[in-house]
């Protein structure tokens, strides 16, 4: 039952987050979920190359360094790029839950400009889960894990089946991924989340 009009606030009867028993241990690098992902993939020269690690509970940390390719205003990171970094960090929580989910809503809050050359230290954690709805929040800090807060986000992710990607993706890329047994084994493993 929804008790608030804010779609990013978990309802009072939502379940607390539960770390999956097979979640990677705290400190482990999660690796890209897809080599061509703009945010985490190694195959995108101008991508963020964001590297996320498992944290304690249902949390992750991540880092990415702002380059010339990420500018909006001269010498400053584009707000959409920063939103992508927050989105990706939040999406990495899938590894801790062993679910496959996509962003339904993402509300970003920009507190400080982020200059080119900055390494942004991000963290995200799940607040609650309500059926297919995953409520999570993220913060990005300048220069260090305890640096000044530059950006924050609240989000609602929605759990989907792997078929979501097969049915909606462009056929060329979908076929290439379907032909990669490692990728498919990992993606399908997330679907049988007990
Ligand atoms: C080729 C094979 C590949 C396999 C391997 C793939 C591995 C990939 C692994 C992991 C991927 C992680 C990727 C991370 C990247 C970072 C995250 C992104 O950037 S994701 C991209 C941006 N997001 C989208 O493109 C979503 C577009 N939207 C949709 O597709 C649909 O709207 C979707 C799936 C979100 C929901 O559609 P419905 O038909 O399934 O479900 P309904 O019934 O509408 O919603 C279910 C519940 O959620 C609420 N809901 C849905 N959307 C909402 C919204 N925007 N705001 C508030 N509530 C929402 C609804 O009110 C409903 O709630 P009630 O159960 O009735 O209480």
ipTM of the complex: 0.97
The pLDDT score that the predictor gives to residue 187 is: 81
What is residue 102's predicted lDDT score, i.e. its pLDDT?
A: 98
Coil/strand/helix, residue 189: helix
Protein residue whose Cα sits closest to atom 45 of ligand 1:
158
Orientation of helix 171-178 relative to helix 181-189, angle to 10° = 90
| CA 30 – CA 28 distance, rounded (Å) | 6
Mutate-to-test residue for ligand 1 from 91, 95, 104, highest number of ligand atoms within 8 A of CB: 104
pLDDT tens per residue across all 194 residues of the chain? 445 789 999 999 999 999 999 999 999 999 999 999 999 999 999 999 999 999 999 999 999 999 999 999 999 999 999 999 999 999 999 999 999 999 999 999 999 999 999 999 999 999 999 999 999 999 999 999 999 999 999 999 999 999 999 999 999 999 999 999 888 877 877 776 55
Domain ranges (residues) in the chain: 14-160, 161-194
Q: Which fold has domain 14-160?
A: Thiol Ester Dehydrase; Chain A (3.10.129)
**Pocket lined around ligand 1, Cβ cut-off 6 Å:** 7, 33, 87-88, 91, 94, 100, 102-105, 131-133, 156, 158, 160, 162, 165-166, 169, 174, 177-178, 187
* pTM for this predicted structure: 0.96
Q: Ligand 1 atom closest to Cα of 183?
A: 5
d(C-alpha 110, C-alpha 47), whole Å: 21
- Residue 181: the pLDDT is 87
100 Cα–ligand 1 center, Å = 9
């Amino acid at each position: 039952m929804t008790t608030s009009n804010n779609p990013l606030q978990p309802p009072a009867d939502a379940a607390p987050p539960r770390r999956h028993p097979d979640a990677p241990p705290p400190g482990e690098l999660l690796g890209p979920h897809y080599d061509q992902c703009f945010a985490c993939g190694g195959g995108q020269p101008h991508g963020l190359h964001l590297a996320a690690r498992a944290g304690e509970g249902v949390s992750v940390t991540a880092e990415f360094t702002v380059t010339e390719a990420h500018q909006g205003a001269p010498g400053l990171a584009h707000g959409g790029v920063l939103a992508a970094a927050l989105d990706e960090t939040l999406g990495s929580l899938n590894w801790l839950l062993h679910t496959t989910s996509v962003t339904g809503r993402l509300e970003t809050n920009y507190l400080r400009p982020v200059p080119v050359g900055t390494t942004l230290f991000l963290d995200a954690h799940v607040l609650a889960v309500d059926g297919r709805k995953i409520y999570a929040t993220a913060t990005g800090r300048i220069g260090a894990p305890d640096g000044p807060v530059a950006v924050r986000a609240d989000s609602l992710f929605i759990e989907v089946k792997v078929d979501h990607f097969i049915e909606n993706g462009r056929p060329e890329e979908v076929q290439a991924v379907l032909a990669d047994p490692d990728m498919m084994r990992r993606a399908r493993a997330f679907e049988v989340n007990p």
